[in-house]
Amino acid sequence: MIKERKRTRTETVLPALLIGTLSMLFAEVFSGASQAWFFNPLSLLLAFPLYMAHTLFFLWIALRLEKTSIRQLYLFGTIFGLYESWITKVLWAGYMDATGPGMGTLFGIAIPEFPVLVFFWHPIMAFIMPVLAYEALTGRAISTHGKILEKGRKKTAAIIVLLAAIGTFIANGNQFNILSVNLSVIGTLLIVLGLYHLSRKKDLKVFGFGRLGFGIVTAYLTLLYVGSFFLLFPGRIPQTPVPYIAILAFYAILAGLIKISGKTGTRLVPLKTGQYSKKDFAKLAAVPILSANLACLMPSISISILFISYLTLTAIGMAIFAFVAYKTLRQRYF
């Protein structure tokens, strides 16, 4: 039994690295926040473990609670996004390269940073997209994810539009340097490819690992939150209780929504011909690469598209959260 447990824990490592890299790709590389992160010691020691640990932490809880529908994963992902308050302090003080929140604050919370990061970027790009991509790559998905993985012209067109717009984020984050853009995106995709070939037989069930593994992830996140809150950008720590109260209240709202949502199961089923697969992942990966390269050739136009896309994603994020909250409450009480 001991040998079997050790083997199982070892087999979790490569899938964990794969889904962690997918989270880095969709969240950090696609936002332009990380440039060639795999060559950056700080990214390897902080950003990558942060995204991987958060993904593993919330996915483990979702699997254990059997609350794995896309709407439930979205709620877990919004909690994921709240790390931006404790570690980077962006949800209070604005982006690192800014003098403050883009449009001021509401109840101590940065606008529009909070809605775009908490309602869209982290739940969708840092959590849901890595999970769906992992399912597409491994060919097995949670049964309730089948519908969202079904291919359709309108859905594929929407994905292409989103990825094309994201190309402007990538180009801007890499200062419109074509070499940096391609190194960042293609380099990350090559890492995904390598890890996929090493761990492709492991479906999502591998992330329902034992309590020891979950304890290690939890301990790491606890140390990360506490340590970085006091040591990383201490000048951005709020001096009034209002932001803390607002963030903690939102934690309570999200936890309440997750609690009242019913179990949706963890049954995995093979993907069918009409659903997105590893081939579709490869084809769609070309879109942000091409878009980012084009954006580097037209920086002024790219910045305009980036600004419009940013505001659009902010609005979309708020609409998604309102929809998920409404559907969750309706299923329970109406």
Alpha helices in the chain (DSSP H): 2-23, 41-42, 48-65, 70-81, 83, 90-93, 113-114, 129-138, 153-173, 178-199, 211-231, 242-260, 278-297, 299-333
Q: pLDDT tens for residues 172-200?
A: 999 999 999 999 999 999 999 999 999 87
**CA–CA distance, 246 with 248 (Å, rounded to integer):** 6
> Angle at Cα 32 formed by Cα 30 and Cα 35, nearest 5°?
105
139, exposed or middle or buried, with CB in 10 Å at 0-12, 13-18, 19+?
middle
Q: pLDDT tens for residues 299-329?
A: 999 999 999 999 999 999 999 999 999 999 9
pLDDT band for position 332 (cuts 50, 70, 90): confident
pLDDT band for position 1 (cuts 50, 70, 90): very low
Query: Which pair of structure tokens corresponds to residue 85?
Result: 């308050």
Distance of CA 153 to the CA centre of its chain: 25
pTM, full prediction: 0.95
Q: By three-state DSSP, how is residue 147 classified? A: coil
Average predicted confidence (pLDDT) for the chain: 94
Q: pLDDT tens for residues 269-299?
A: 999 999 999 999 999 999 999 999 999 999 9
